[in-house]
Chain A
């Protein structure tokens, strides 16, 4: 199967770190993505990681990939109220370009 699972809700205080997790069952993918969706808005690509990498850091964002356990995480350092949104992990379908599976999304709420 190609199910992608995410925890649905996460609440943190401003300034703390947030960790959003995603587990998947499809091991043939090449890239894994994190998207952010703010209320009433489209999807914003935050970052992505190639499947042969374990970690990628991009400013406040750190992506960790554990292929053995099929586990992906997004860590947001120094979380701000503006980070409140729904975060989706997404996974391509291997050899077929562009066709993505999406996780259920995690609603991140940041309290001041």
Chain B
């Protein structure tokens, strides 16, 4: 398993602004992902954060809206750009180790956009 932390844990933001969420893992991991959980809904994968290259986005998500960085094997950031109230969600990072076929999730960042 892994210890995964996210910053901030929650935030309230004004529409039109941007927020960068950090995800830190206590050990090197092969795969890192970003998910969104809209209020009362299930989780939807936003993108795979690739170390040293551009993230791979899922259908319906674009780099201009959700730029992602992954400078090394233990850290990633997700930016929610030009926010609107529809972006109010919980954003979760997750990690998967190469030797395990299991995925562990961070505690999430609760975002409210006014």
Give chain A's interface residues, CB within 8 Å of chain B: 30-31, 33, 35, 41-45, 48, 50, 88, 90, 92, 97-105
CB <8 Å contact, B103 and A41: no
Return B29 CB to nearest CB of chain A, in Å. Answer: 10
CB <8 Å contact, B96 and A42: no
Knowing A42-B107, A98-B96, A99-B33, the reply to whether A48 touches B45 (Cβ < 8 A) is no
B103's partner among A30, A33, A50, A101 (CB-CB below 8 A) is: A33
Q: Does chain A have a CB within 8 A of B63?
A: no
A33 CA / B30 CA spacing, docked (Å): 19
A104 CA / B40 CA spacing, docked (Å): 9
Q: Does chain A have a CB within 8 A of B53?
A: no
CB <8 Å contact, A104 and B33: no
Give chain B's interface residues, CB within 8 Å of chain A: 30-31, 33, 41-45, 48, 58, 92, 94, 96, 101-108
How many A-B contacts if CB must be within 8 Å? 53
CB <8 Å contact, A97 and B102: no
Knowing A88-B43, A102-B42, the reply to whether A48 touches B106 (Cβ < 8 A) is no
Contacts of B58 in A (CB 8 A): 99
CB <8 Å contact, A88 and B103: no
B42's partner among A44, A45, A48, A88 (CB-CB below 8 A) is: A88
Return A4 CB to nearest CB of chain B, in Å. Answer: 8
A48's partner among B44, B94, B101 (CB-CB below 8 A) is: B101
Return A58 CB to nearest CB of chain B, in Å. Answer: 13
A98 CA / B42 CA spacing, docked (Å): 17
Q: A31-B101, A33-B103, A45-B102 are in contact. List 4 more A-B contacts (CB 8 A).
A: A42-B105, A42-B106, A97-B30, A100-B103
Return B27 CB to nearest CB of chain A, in Å. Answer: 16
Return A7 CB to nearest CB of chain B, in Å. Answer: 13
